[in-house]
């Protein structure tokens, strides 16, 4: 298949495919007339790259998975280098989760302090003002 068809089937653009080619992630095979040509294996490579990027992997982190597929393995995560990338990514995610939990705790503490201060101010203001004013027509609080 040609580049336009591959891009359409992979849900990406020809520009992206040329970029992947320039980065050495997508093989650059050409016909005698100079057209790029691709096969189902290339589509599988692209799907692997896109899936990993959807998970937050940067383009360079996809390289071991692509190389694993190019080496003939049925899945891109069947090789030790791919598994190592998974481990590193999990460590990164665990660290980010820890940071987010700490930030969440701080925001929760700030919220509790702000609500408490607001409640104290409201209670103090109500004590100074006395009873709520009554509506002239119905004798009910505003």
The string of pLDDT tens digits covering residues 24-83 is 999 889 999 989 999 999 999 999 999 999 999 999 999 999 999 999 999 999 999 999
14 within domain boundaries: yes
Count of the separate structural domains present in the chain:
1
Rg of the chain (C-alpha set): 30
31 within domain boundaries: yes
133 within domain boundaries: no
131 within domain boundaries: no
C-alpha distance from residue 14 to each of 9, 40, 86, 138 (Å): 11, 16, 28, 73
114 within domain boundaries: yes
Q: Is 74 helix (H, G, I), strand (E, B) or coil?
A: coil
84 within domain boundaries: yes
40 within domain boundaries: yes
pLDDT in the model for residue 132? 60
52-61 per-position pLDDT tens digit: 999 999 999 9
Structure tokens at 79: 């090789």
C-alpha distance from residue 25 to each of 4, 18, 142 (Å): 17, 10, 70
42 within domain boundaries: yes
| Phi-psi domain of 79 (left: phi exceeds 0; alpha: psi -120 through 50; beta: other) | beta
> Which structural domain range is residue 105 located in?
3-122
Alpha carbons 12 and 6: distance in angstroms, whole number:
8
Alpha carbons 105 and 128: distance in angstroms, whole number:
35
CATH number at residue 12: 1.10.1660.10
């Amino acid at each position: 298949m040609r580049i336009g068809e591959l891009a359409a089937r992979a849900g990406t653009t020809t520009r992206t495919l040329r970029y992947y080619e320039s980065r050495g992630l997508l093989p650059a095979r050409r016909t005698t007339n100079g057209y790029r040509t691709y096969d189902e294996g290339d589509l599988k490579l692209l799907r692997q790259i896109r899936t990993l990027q959807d998970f937050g992997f940067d383009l360079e982190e996809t390289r071991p998975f692509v190389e694993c597929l190019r080496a003939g393995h049925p899945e891109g995560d069947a090789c030790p280098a791919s598994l190592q990338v998974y481990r590193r990514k999990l460590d990164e995610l665990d660290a980010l989760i820890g940071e987010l939990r700490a930030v969440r705790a701080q925001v929760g503490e700030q919220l509790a302090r702000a609500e408490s201060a607001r409640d104290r101010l409201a209670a103090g203001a109500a004590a100074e003002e006395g009873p709520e004013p009554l509506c002239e027509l119905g004798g009910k609080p505003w």
